[in-house]
Amino acid sequence: MFRITYIVLFGLFIALQSCGPADGVWKNDEIDAGIRQKLHALNEEVFDDLKQKRELHLEYNLALELINHSRTRQNVEILGHELRTRDYQLFDEYYTVAQPDTMLKIQNRNRGLNSYDVHTYTVARQMYTTFYLPRTGINRKMITLVYAKFDYGWKLYHWDIRPYMYNGHTALELLELAKRQIAQNYISDTRLTMQMASACLRPSDIVKYPDDSAFVNTYRLFMNRAKEIQEFPITLGDVSSKPQILGVYTKETPNGFYPMIGYLSTIDINDTLAVKAENLAVMKVIGNVLPGIDKDKKLLFHRVYNKESTAESMQPYFDMRTEF
């Protein structure tokens, strides 16, 4: 009798196991409505806790690995601030069922030039990966949240936030812009555009663009070419005071990134009227020395030094900007 009961119970256990979700990957509307609703509610609870700084309540929805992680408090502060100051909306979401300890590669080819792959490691059989972006703004960061269904419930296992878009363009869109700029010999613009593109090439720890190795090769090619053609310092011989351009840098503003020209002047930066007069002369010739730097922009920033700064000694400077 015991043997028969054991066989029946064992068979019931196998049957129950087989009733679990089948292996697969479901994206956005493909996700079962009931599962999706439950996971959305969980995610909203996590977002609310981050916004309201309810760290103790948030901890209930964190995986043990996150609770004990040294950077958790820092991430809570960063994500909380971002969610309080920007209005985020769902970008893409994935529900996966697979054997634990498996590296999954999920291909998304529905985003045109910005199509991407998700590389995620399964720490549990069922996992939920979601990406969020701000609704507005030309500089946007992507929030990534990954949940796993452990034996103690659905818990947030991984989170990160990284740049997704600069000046209204993703990394691959910036790459296309840089190709047009270098074709016009706009070397300074090409350098700055490629720097922005590189900064948002990996918008998440688990997101990669399909051919990012080609991007890396193009980046090296363009930057090496820029270095060969445009070597600093550059003396502006057509300006009577002979200022020296030290370099062109990136200036972040609420309305995007713009070039900032750093140069040495023999005019005392405390004599602001004279420095501004010199800058007007600089602007008359800057397009000849740095082709394209005064084209297709709303702003151009200037930082003037009397002595070049070093890593050991930061020198005083005077900032200006030109509006087009």
The reported pLDDT for the residue numbered 19 is 55
94 domain-assigned: yes
Q: Residues 121, 216: one domain? A: no
Predicted confidence (pLDDT) per residue in 47-69, tens digit = 999 999 999 999 999 999 999 88
Nearest-10 crossing angle of helices 187-199, 212-229: 150
Q: Which of 229, 257, 275 is the last residue of a domain?
A: 229
Per the DSSP assignment, residues forming a β-bridge with 312 are none
- Between the CA atoms of 288, 168, 319 and 198, what dihedral angle is there, to the nearest 10 degrees? -80
Q: Residues 134, 45: one domain? A: yes
Antiparallel, parallel or unpaired: β 256-264 and 299-305: parallel
Which candidate, 82, 192, 189, 176, places its Cα nearest to that of 137? Answer: 82
Write out the residue range of the structural domain in which residue 63 sits: 19-165
Tokens of 144: 């990534």
Q: Residues 57, 135: one domain? A: yes
67 domain-assigned: yes
Q: Residues 179, 136: one domain? A: no
- Characterize 152-162 residue by residue with b for buried, 16 or more Cβ atoms within 10 angstroms of its Cβ, and e for exposed: eebbbbbbbbb
Q: CA 86, CA 99: separation in Å to the nearest integer?
A: 37
Q: CA 298, CA 258: separation in Å to the nearest integer?
A: 8
Predicted confidence (pLDDT) per residue in 164-219, tens digit = 999 999 999 999 999 999 999 999 999 999 999 999 999 999 999 998 889 999 99
Q: How many domains does the chain have?
A: 3
What pTM was estimated for this model as a whole? 0.89
Q: Residues 180, 223: one domain? A: yes
Per the listing, tokens 């948030």 go with 58
294 domain-assigned: yes
- What is 99-122 written as a DSSP string? -SS-EEEEEE--SGGG-EEEEEE-
Q: Residues 216, 240: one domain? A: no
Q: Which of 165, 188, 213 is the last residue of a domain?
A: 165
Taking 70 as the pLDDT cut, the residues of the chain under it are 1-20
Per the listing, tokens 């059989």 go with 125
250 domain-assigned: yes
Write out the E strands in the chain: 24-27, 88-97, 103-108, 116-121, 126-134, 140-150, 153-165, 207-208, 234-235, 244-253, 256-264, 299-305, 317-323
217 domain-assigned: yes
Q: Residues 147, 39: one domain? A: yes
Question: Residue 46: which CATH number?
Answer: 3.10.450
Tokens of 242: 């002979």
Q: Residues 62, 113: one domain? A: yes
179 domain-assigned: yes
Q: Which of 120, 146, 165 is the last residue of a domain?
A: 165
Q: Residues 222, 305: one domain? A: no
Q: Residues 225, 241: one domain? A: no
10 domain-assigned: no
Q: Residues 105, 156: one domain? A: yes
How many Cβ atoms are within 10 Å of 278's Cβ, its own excluded? 21
The reported pLDDT for the residue numbered 1 is 37
Q: CA 256, CA 193: separation in Å to the nearest integer?
A: 12
The reported pLDDT for the residue numbered 7 is 37
- Please check whether residue 262 is in contact with residue 246, taking contact to mean a CB–CB distance below 8 angstroms: yes
Which candidate, 188, 181, 166, places its Cα nearest to that of 293? Answer: 188
Q: Residues 150, 196: one domain? A: no
263 domain-assigned: yes
